[in-house]
Structure 1
Amino acid sequence: MSEHLRLLYTFGRPFSPFYSVAMSLRAAFYQKGLFKQQRLPVPVISVGNLTLGGTGKTPMVIYLARLLAARKPVIVSRGYGGRARERVNVVSDGRTICLTAPAAGDEPFFLAENLPGVPVLTSRNRVDGGRYAVEHLGAGAVILDDGFQHLGLWRDVNLALFKVDSFLGNNRVFPGGDMREPLKALERADCFVLTCVDEDNRKRAEAINRALNKRFAGIPVFMTGFRPLSLVTADGGEIALADGPASFFGFCGLANPHSFQRSLQLAGIKLDGFQVFRDHCRYFKPELDFLHKQSRGSAAQAYITSEKDLVKLQGRQLAKPLYALRMEVAAGEDFDRFVLEKLESAG
């Protein structure tokens, strides 16, 4: 945890009960119909989480978009950090990427690059985004990226994701902790998905599974991990893991950097150093100069980072060749069947 967050949670702890009550009342008003939920004429699947920070939502959205390809899905995202300010911003229409990464936001642009043929929209109001997807892009299904707290749009499948290593963080509601809402909010979920499960944390994942089953009986829990695929080059090329350099200096600007570092190691990547940058780092000259300084004494032949970071490094000049590790979600047939059957029953 960064020092900034540590201070925020320390001084924000007295205010957590007030925020918790406010979020509970908001959810209750939607449940009782005092706040209206809008419905779309196509199925909606929401990918979200209870905690702040990364839980693997973006890779899951990519996985679901491919799983639901026959339904002509459209992705609707909040567009965190993006400069585009229209009511609905078309990041990709399924044929052309229409916005740059700074305009779209890191995650939506990354989704557009990795999902040719799948439209990606950003909108502060997911209802507006969903309607645009149906009326202008012919969506047969809408995937909400980070939609668990956006209650204004009805969803047919509500996924709540947890990263195994962090789970509920410090178990306190913001601003005293990592949780966006009280634990009771998880009763809205149709299923729980534990992400980033590997052999090192499998026992912890199984313990979390048991705890969720005990507290939320009847809501299924699925475990997913990551499967390393290849190395992506700075110019968009792709090579096999075995054909890459012998050693790398790793770095990233992610919410859970050490999880990414472990993913590199589990993929067989030999690391001769690793540097953490702040989440959503834009990698301007000071950051690149610092990276060069930190890696100067390393025997690494190249840099390696995440695909999300690679998007923000396009056009940047580095002292060594740059690669990113391409991974995909590894989910079981039970999870696929659950999602498809839920959507089928929705129409």
Structure 2
Amino acid sequence: MKLVRFLLFPFTILYDLITSIRNLLYDKGNFRSTSFTIPIIAVGNLSVGGTGKTPQIEYLIRLLRERSVAVLSRGYKRKTSGFVLLNSNHSSEDVGDEPLQFFRKFPNIAVAVDANRVAGIQRLKKEVNPEIILLDDAYQHRKVKAGFYVLLTKYGELYSDDFILPTGNLRESRRGAKRADLILVTKCPETLGLKEKERIKKKLKPLHGQHVYFTAISYGQVLKGSMPIAVDELSDYTVLLITGIAIPQPLLDFLSTRKIKYQHLKFPDHHQFSPSDIDTIQKKFEAISAPQKIMVTTEKDYVRLSDQIKGLSYIEIETQFLNDSDKFDKEILKFVEV
């Protein structure tokens, strides 16, 4: 795979040229970016893959819970098109798994999907009139000029160490980090020390006033879904773990450190489970001969699987700040209160 990516390096140069010209034309005003008077916060990254956007959006929803909040996503892999304002009749196939997760988890907010973010914001303003809009995975969507940009980069896979597609995983040059109001290094080990934090900051080279924060993934201590038992009690079970996320390794590590026995069925990111997949899962679970067994999945996968598999439980995740959470909160609140 590394050899193939190396051989594709000429295409990386071409891709960099195209994206750089596009960004320059937006920066110079040759391409139009639409601004709105309503506070809009865009959460995104420079790279493809899982950097933890979903738990970060949820962190912002909780932080802004006293205000009227709407979330706008494109609805990745949905089968519908255009603007859709979520309601209780929608499935993950209609609107995508992440928007449906936001809708079910936070009943007091509005959630919509639209690949055209300008049109989506206009419809939200007309139909919901929220005080704040959160744009999910919209860092490269420059047709909208958000008022505040939160840039995520994953610990161990920093954008400063990466290359542009197809040689690397960057959607655009690392120069794009200059548009961020702040930078979050996500999925850090909870024991990350001050020396390592400083080393990472030097590699990222933030601009003056562009603060860098470090976060980890915090797993829920009680399963949700069909069997609401404490996670620590899973050591008495054999777990069939089902994942359809980009990077399941942190969850595997979490289970292993608690000496939980598991068998892992891994599917691609945002996988829409077919009847054949469900049959495979059921047969795999039936074949486990342990006296106590349980099917467990991620919160995102539960959105796609809960209607098809009975007796399924899931583990929640949240963003946990390792430094200066109060400072981060103040930056966000200062922006929305302007």
Q: TM-score, normalised by structure 1?
A: 0.86
Alpha-carbon spacing, 1:183–1:62, altered in 2? closer, same or farther (3 Å) = same
Partner of 1:329: 319
The match for 1:22 among 18, 22, 30 is: 18
1:313 aligns with 2:305: yes
1:155 aligns with 2:146: yes
Task: Give 1:10 deviation, angstroms.
Answer: 5.0
Task: Give 1:138 deviation, angstroms.
Answer: 1.3
Partner of 1:91: 86
Tell which deviates more after alignment, 329-338 or 38-47.
Answer: 329-338
1:343 aligns with 2:333: no
Partner of 2:185: 194
- 2: CA distance, partners of 1:184 / 1:102: 35
Whether contact under 8 Å (1:164, 1:204) holds in the other structure is: no
Partner of 1:176: 167
Partner of 1:279: 269
Task: Give 1:31 deviation, angstroms.
Answer: 1.0
1:262 aligns with 2:253: yes
- 1: CA distance, partners of 2:328 / 2:206: 21
Query: 1:154-181: per-residue Cα shift (whole Å, max 9, x none)?
Result: 1111010012133339712112220000
User: Does the residue aligned with 1:63 lie in a helix, a strand or coil?
Assistant: helix
Whether contact under 8 Å (1:90, 1:98) holds in the other structure is: no
User: Does the residue aligned with 1:224 lie in a helix, a strand or coil?
Assistant: strand
1:302 aligns with 2:283: no
- 2: CA distance, partners of 1:10 / 1:290: 37
Task: Give 1:51 deviation, angstroms.
Answer: 0.3
Query: 1:134-158: per-residue Cα shift (whole Å, max 9, x none)?
Result: 2210110110000100111111110
User: Does the residue aligned with 1:79 lie in a helix, a strand or coil?
Assistant: coil
- 1: CA distance, partners of 2:165 / 2:228: 41
Count how many residue pairs are aligned between Structure 1 and Structure 2: 330
Whether contact under 8 Å (1:249, 1:298) holds in the other structure is: no
- 1: CA distance, partners of 2:79 / 2:4: 26
Alpha-carbon spacing, 1:277–1:298, altered in 2? closer, same or farther (3 Å) = farther
Task: Give 1:242 deviation, angstroms.
Answer: 4.8
Task: Give 1:29 deviation, angstroms.
Answer: 0.9
- 2: CA distance, partners of 1:37 / 1:122: 19
Task: Give 1:60 deviation, angstroms.
Answer: 0.8
- 2: CA distance, partners of 1:99 / 1:317: 18
- 2: CA distance, partners of 1:220 / 1:169: 16
- 1: CA distance, partners of 2:105 / 2:187: 20
Partner of 1:121: 112
**Counterpart amino acid of 2:336?**
L
Alpha-carbon spacing, 1:294–1:169, altered in 2? closer, same or farther (3 Å) = farther
Gaps of 5+ in 2: none
Alpha-carbon spacing, 1:215–1:157, altered in 2? closer, same or farther (3 Å) = closer
Query: 1:77-100: per-residue Cα shift (whole Å, max 9, x none)?
Result: 0111011112x11124xxxx3521
* Cα RMSD for the two superposed structures: 2.5
Gaps of 5+ in 1: none
Partner of 1:137: 128
Alpha-carbon spacing, 1:313–1:26, altered in 2? closer, same or farther (3 Å) = same
Query: 1:289-340: per-residue Cα shift (whole Å, max 9, x none)?
Result: 444565635746112110111111123247xx42110122223222111211
Whether contact under 8 Å (2:206, 2:212) holds in the other structure is: no
**Counterpart amino acid of 1:211?**
K
1:77 aligns with 2:73: yes
- 1: CA distance, partners of 2:54 / 2:119: 21
- 1: CA distance, partners of 2:129 / 2:68: 8
**Counterpart amino acid of 2:12?**
S
Whether contact under 8 Å (1:273, 1:298) holds in the other structure is: no
Q: TM-score, normalised by structure 2?
A: 0.88
- 1: CA distance, partners of 2:294 / 2:31: 53
The match for 1:111 among 102, 116, 121 is: 102
Alpha-carbon spacing, 1:121–1:283, altered in 2? closer, same or farther (3 Å) = same
User: Does the residue aligned with 2:209 lie in a helix, a strand or coil?
Assistant: coil
Aligned pairs (5 A) from 1:26-65: 26-65=22-61
- 1: CA distance, partners of 2:271 / 2:259: 23
Whether contact under 8 Å (2:235, 2:261) holds in the other structure is: no
The match for 2:218 among 211, 214, 227 is: 227
- 2: CA distance, partners of 1:206 / 1:292: 48
